[in-house]
Chains A and B, each alone.
Chain A
Protein backbone atom coordinates (compact mmCIF):
# COMPACT_ATOMS: atom_id res chain seq x y z
CA UNK A 1 0.00 0.00 0.00
CA UNK A 2 1.24 3.46 -0.97
CA UNK A 3 2.38 5.22 2.22
CA UNK A 4 0.79 8.49 1.05
CA UNK A 5 -2.68 7.25 1.99
CA UNK A 6 -4.38 7.94 5.30
CA UNK A 7 -7.43 6.19 6.69
CA UNK A 8 -10.20 6.89 9.14
CA UNK A 9 -13.39 5.28 10.28
CA UNK A 10 -16.37 7.62 9.99
CA UNK A 11 -19.42 7.31 12.20
CA UNK A 12 -21.95 4.77 11.01
CA UNK A 13 -25.60 5.12 11.81
CA UNK A 14 -27.75 2.05 12.49
CA UNK A 15 -30.07 3.60 9.90
CA UNK A 16 -27.65 4.30 7.03
CA UNK A 17 -29.69 4.22 3.80
CA UNK A 18 -26.77 2.87 1.73
CA UNK A 19 -24.22 0.18 2.52
CA UNK A 20 -21.80 2.17 4.65
CA UNK A 21 -18.12 2.52 3.82
CA UNK A 22 -16.45 1.53 7.07
CA UNK A 23 -13.07 2.99 6.14
CA UNK A 24 -12.47 6.19 4.21
CA UNK A 25 -9.17 7.11 2.61
CA UNK A 26 -7.47 10.32 1.56
CA UNK A 27 -4.05 11.07 0.13
CA UNK A 28 -1.33 13.36 1.54
CA UNK A 29 1.20 14.14 -1.21
CA UNK A 30 4.90 14.28 -0.26
CA UNK A 31 5.21 18.04 -0.83
CA UNK A 32 3.48 18.49 2.53
CA UNK A 33 6.62 17.30 4.30
CA UNK A 34 9.18 19.43 2.46
CA UNK A 35 9.16 23.10 3.52
CA UNK A 36 12.02 23.91 1.14
CA UNK A 37 13.53 21.42 -1.27
CA UNK A 38 17.10 20.62 -0.17
CA UNK A 39 19.88 20.48 -2.79
CA UNK A 40 21.20 17.18 -4.11
CA UNK A 41 18.02 15.11 -4.06
CA UNK A 42 18.09 11.97 -6.18
CA UNK A 43 16.47 12.25 -9.61
CA UNK A 44 14.60 10.15 -12.14
CA UNK A 45 16.22 9.59 -15.53
CA UNK A 46 15.19 12.35 -17.99
CA UNK A 47 12.75 10.08 -19.83
CA UNK A 48 11.22 8.80 -16.62
CA UNK A 49 10.90 12.35 -15.31
CA UNK A 50 9.08 13.53 -18.45
CA UNK A 51 6.62 10.69 -18.06
CA UNK A 52 5.96 11.21 -14.38
CA UNK A 53 5.74 14.98 -14.37
CA UNK A 54 8.59 15.50 -11.91
CA UNK A 55 12.33 15.04 -11.79
CA UNK A 56 12.23 14.21 -8.09
CA UNK A 57 11.22 10.79 -6.73
CA UNK A 58 10.80 12.42 -3.30
CA UNK A 59 8.05 14.65 -4.74
CA UNK A 60 6.34 11.99 -6.83
CA UNK A 61 2.80 11.10 -5.96
CA UNK A 62 0.95 8.47 -7.92
CA UNK A 63 -2.76 8.65 -7.34
CA UNK A 64 -3.89 5.06 -7.09
CA UNK A 65 -6.88 4.95 -4.79
CA UNK A 66 -6.99 1.76 -2.71
CA UNK A 67 -9.82 -0.65 -3.42
CA UNK A 68 -12.47 -1.07 -0.81
CA UNK A 69 -11.35 -4.65 -0.03
CA UNK A 70 -7.77 -3.50 0.55
CA UNK A 71 -8.64 -1.11 3.34
CA UNK A 72 -11.62 -2.94 4.78
CA UNK A 73 -11.11 -6.69 4.44
Chain B
Protein backbone atom coordinates (compact mmCIF):
# COMPACT_ATOMS: atom_id res chain seq x y z
CA UNK B 1 0.00 0.00 0.00
CA UNK B 2 1.14 3.51 -0.70
CA UNK B 3 0.48 6.88 0.80
CA UNK B 4 0.42 9.75 -1.66
CA UNK B 5 1.76 13.15 -0.75
CA UNK B 6 0.31 15.81 -2.99
CA UNK B 7 3.50 17.63 -3.84
CA UNK B 8 6.57 16.98 -5.93
CA UNK B 9 9.70 15.51 -4.38
CA UNK B 10 11.61 18.55 -5.64
CA UNK B 11 10.22 21.73 -7.21
CA UNK B 12 10.03 21.84 -10.98
CA UNK B 13 10.43 25.30 -12.47
CA UNK B 14 10.60 25.73 -16.20
CA UNK B 15 11.69 29.24 -17.19
CA UNK B 16 12.19 28.94 -20.92
CA UNK B 17 9.56 28.16 -23.54
CA UNK B 18 11.23 25.29 -25.37
CA UNK B 19 8.77 22.57 -26.48
CA UNK B 20 11.59 20.71 -28.21
CA UNK B 21 13.11 19.90 -24.84
CA UNK B 22 9.92 17.99 -23.95
CA UNK B 23 10.75 15.62 -26.79
CA UNK B 24 14.11 14.90 -25.19
CA UNK B 25 12.88 14.73 -21.59
CA UNK B 26 10.38 12.04 -22.54
CA UNK B 27 13.39 9.70 -22.70
CA UNK B 28 13.32 9.61 -18.91
CA UNK B 29 9.56 9.04 -18.95
CA UNK B 30 9.13 6.06 -21.23
CA UNK B 31 12.69 5.20 -22.26
CA UNK B 32 14.71 2.07 -21.48
CA UNK B 33 16.56 3.68 -18.60
CA UNK B 34 13.72 5.96 -17.58
CA UNK B 35 11.89 6.33 -14.32
CA UNK B 36 8.95 4.09 -15.28
CA UNK B 37 11.28 1.23 -16.18
CA UNK B 38 13.19 1.77 -12.93
CA UNK B 39 10.10 1.79 -10.72
CA UNK B 40 8.59 -1.31 -12.32
CA UNK B 41 11.92 -3.15 -12.24
CA UNK B 42 12.62 -2.62 -8.54
CA UNK B 43 9.08 -3.07 -7.27
CA UNK B 44 8.80 -6.34 -9.19
CA UNK B 45 12.16 -7.77 -8.09
CA UNK B 46 11.24 -7.33 -4.43
CA UNK B 47 9.36 -10.60 -4.14
CA UNK B 48 12.27 -12.86 -4.93
CA UNK B 49 15.16 -11.06 -3.26
CA UNK B 50 16.49 -11.88 0.24
CA UNK B 51 14.58 -10.16 3.06
CA UNK B 52 17.48 -7.92 3.98
CA UNK B 53 17.20 -5.83 0.82
CA UNK B 54 13.45 -5.93 0.08
CA UNK B 55 12.94 -2.65 1.91
CA UNK B 56 15.62 -0.97 -0.17
CA UNK B 57 13.90 -2.00 -3.41
CA UNK B 58 10.55 -0.77 -2.05
CA UNK B 59 11.98 2.59 -1.06
CA UNK B 60 13.89 3.21 -4.27
CA UNK B 61 11.10 1.85 -6.50
CA UNK B 62 8.67 4.20 -4.80
CA UNK B 63 11.00 7.17 -5.18
CA UNK B 64 11.27 6.44 -8.92
CA UNK B 65 7.54 7.15 -9.22
CA UNK B 66 8.14 10.50 -7.54
CA UNK B 67 10.79 11.17 -10.17
CA UNK B 68 8.42 10.06 -12.95
CA UNK B 69 5.98 12.66 -11.69
CA UNK B 70 8.64 15.37 -11.86
CA UNK B 71 9.52 14.48 -15.46
CA UNK B 72 5.81 14.47 -16.35
CA UNK B 73 5.48 17.94 -14.85
CA UNK B 74 8.40 19.23 -16.92
CA UNK B 75 6.99 17.77 -20.14
CA UNK B 76 3.52 19.08 -19.41
CA UNK B 77 4.75 22.61 -18.65
CA UNK B 78 6.81 22.69 -21.84
CA UNK B 79 3.95 21.59 -24.10
CA UNK B 80 0.64 22.68 -22.59
CA UNK B 81 0.55 26.14 -24.19
CA UNK B 82 2.19 25.34 -27.49
CA UNK B 83 0.14 25.53 -30.67
CA UNK B 84 0.02 22.45 -32.89
CA UNK B 85 2.26 24.39 -35.28
CA UNK B 86 4.83 25.00 -32.55
CA UNK B 87 4.74 21.33 -31.58
CA UNK B 88 5.30 20.45 -35.20
CA UNK B 89 8.31 22.74 -35.36
CA UNK B 90 9.62 21.12 -32.18
CA UNK B 91 9.52 17.69 -33.79
CA UNK B 92 6.38 16.72 -31.89
CA UNK B 93 4.01 16.64 -34.88
CA UNK B 94 3.85 12.84 -34.80
CA UNK B 95 3.15 12.93 -31.10
CA UNK B 96 0.34 15.42 -31.57
CA UNK B 97 -1.23 13.34 -34.34
CA UNK B 98 -1.58 10.36 -32.00
CA UNK B 99 -1.82 11.87 -28.51
CA UNK B 100 -2.64 15.57 -28.78
CA UNK B 101 -1.33 17.15 -25.55
CA UNK B 102 -1.43 13.90 -23.60
CA UNK B 103 1.77 12.42 -22.26
CA UNK B 104 2.68 8.99 -23.44
CA UNK B 105 5.22 6.40 -22.41
CA UNK B 106 7.72 6.41 -25.22
CA UNK B 107 11.33 7.42 -25.60
CA UNK B 108 12.86 10.47 -27.28
CA UNK B 109 12.79 8.71 -30.64
CA UNK B 110 9.08 7.90 -30.25
CA UNK B 111 9.45 4.17 -29.59
CA UNK B 112 6.70 3.01 -27.21
CA UNK B 113 7.66 1.74 -23.79
CA UNK B 114 8.15 -2.00 -23.67
CA UNK B 115 8.41 -4.18 -20.60
CA UNK B 116 11.31 -5.99 -22.28
CA UNK B 117 13.39 -3.00 -21.12
CA UNK B 118 13.50 -4.64 -17.70
CA UNK B 119 14.50 -8.03 -16.42
CA UNK B 120 13.78 -10.09 -13.32
CA UNK B 121 16.24 -12.93 -13.20
CA UNK B 122 15.46 -14.24 -9.74
CA UNK B 123 19.15 -14.35 -8.92
CA UNK B 124 19.80 -11.66 -6.30
CA UNK B 125 23.28 -10.75 -7.48
CA UNK B 126 22.26 -10.64 -11.16
CA UNK B 127 19.21 -8.51 -10.37
CA UNK B 128 21.13 -6.04 -8.23
CA UNK B 129 23.83 -5.63 -10.87
CA UNK B 130 21.11 -4.80 -13.39
CA UNK B 131 19.80 -2.21 -10.95
CA UNK B 132 23.24 -0.64 -10.52
CA UNK B 133 23.66 -0.47 -14.29
CA UNK B 134 20.20 1.09 -14.63
CA UNK B 135 21.08 3.82 -12.14
CA UNK B 136 24.35 4.67 -13.89
CA UNK B 137 22.59 4.80 -17.27
CA UNK B 138 19.86 7.04 -15.89
CA UNK B 139 22.57 9.28 -14.39
CA UNK B 140 24.17 9.54 -17.82
CA UNK B 141 20.81 10.36 -19.44
CA UNK B 142 20.37 13.23 -17.00
CA UNK B 143 23.83 14.52 -17.93
CA UNK B 144 22.91 14.61 -21.61
CA UNK B 145 19.58 16.29 -20.81
CA UNK B 146 21.40 18.95 -18.76
CA UNK B 147 23.70 19.44 -21.76
CA UNK B 148 20.67 19.92 -24.06
CA UNK B 149 19.18 22.88 -22.19
CA UNK B 150 20.39 26.26 -20.98
CA UNK B 151 17.38 26.79 -18.70
CA UNK B 152 19.11 27.03 -15.32
CA UNK B 153 15.93 26.33 -13.36
CA UNK B 154 15.23 23.16 -15.29
CA UNK B 155 18.90 22.20 -14.99
CA UNK B 156 18.54 22.59 -11.24
CA UNK B 157 15.74 20.01 -11.07
CA UNK B 158 17.61 17.69 -13.43
CA UNK B 159 20.73 17.95 -11.24
CA UNK B 160 18.68 16.90 -8.23
CA UNK B 161 17.38 13.87 -10.12
CA UNK B 162 20.89 13.02 -11.29
CA UNK B 163 22.23 13.12 -7.74
CA UNK B 164 19.49 10.70 -6.64
CA UNK B 165 20.77 8.24 -9.26
CA UNK B 166 24.24 8.52 -7.71
CA UNK B 167 22.84 7.70 -4.27
CA UNK B 168 20.65 4.85 -5.53
CA UNK B 169 23.63 3.26 -7.23
CA UNK B 170 25.53 3.55 -3.95
CA UNK B 171 22.72 1.81 -2.03
CA UNK B 172 22.39 -1.02 -4.56
CA UNK B 173 26.11 -1.66 -4.34
CA UNK B 174 25.82 -1.73 -0.56
CA UNK B 175 22.99 -4.27 -0.99
CA UNK B 176 25.38 -6.47 -2.97
CA UNK B 177 27.89 -6.19 -0.11
CA UNK B 178 25.17 -7.22 2.38
CA UNK B 179 24.20 -10.24 0.29
CA UNK B 180 27.82 -11.36 -0.03
CA UNK B 181 27.36 -12.17 3.65
CA UNK B 182 30.86 -12.44 4.96
CA UNK B 183 29.70 -14.20 8.10
CA UNK B 184 31.88 -17.14 8.99
CA UNK B 185 34.76 -15.82 6.95
CA UNK B 186 37.89 -14.65 8.67
CA UNK B 187 37.70 -11.22 7.17
CA UNK B 188 38.77 -7.98 8.80
CA UNK B 189 36.88 -4.88 7.72
Contact = CB atoms under 8 A, between A and B. Distances in A.
Contacts of B169: 29, 31
A22 B143 CA distance: 21
Q: Which applies to chain B's interface (DSSP): helix, strand, loop or mixed?
A: helix
Given A35-B173, A35-B177, A36-B177, A59 B167 contact: yes
Nearest to B164: A53
Interface string B122-146: 0000000000000000010011001
A36 B178 CA distance: 9
Contact of B10 (A35, A53, A59): A53
Given A53-B10, A59-B166, 18 more contacts: A29-B139, A29-B169, A31-B173, A35-B174, A36-B174, A36-B177, A37-B170, A52-B160, A52-B163, A53-B159, A53-B162, A53-B167, A54-B167, A61-B162, A61-B163, A61-B166, A63-B142, A63-B162
26 contacts: A27-B143, A29-B139, A29-B169, A31-B166, A31-B167, A31-B169, A31-B170, A35-B173, A36-B173, A36-B174, A36-B177, A37-B170, A37-B174, A52-B163, A53-B10, A53-B160, A53-B161, A53-B162, A54-B163, A61-B162, A61-B163, A61-B166, A62-B159, A63-B146, A63-B159, A65-B147
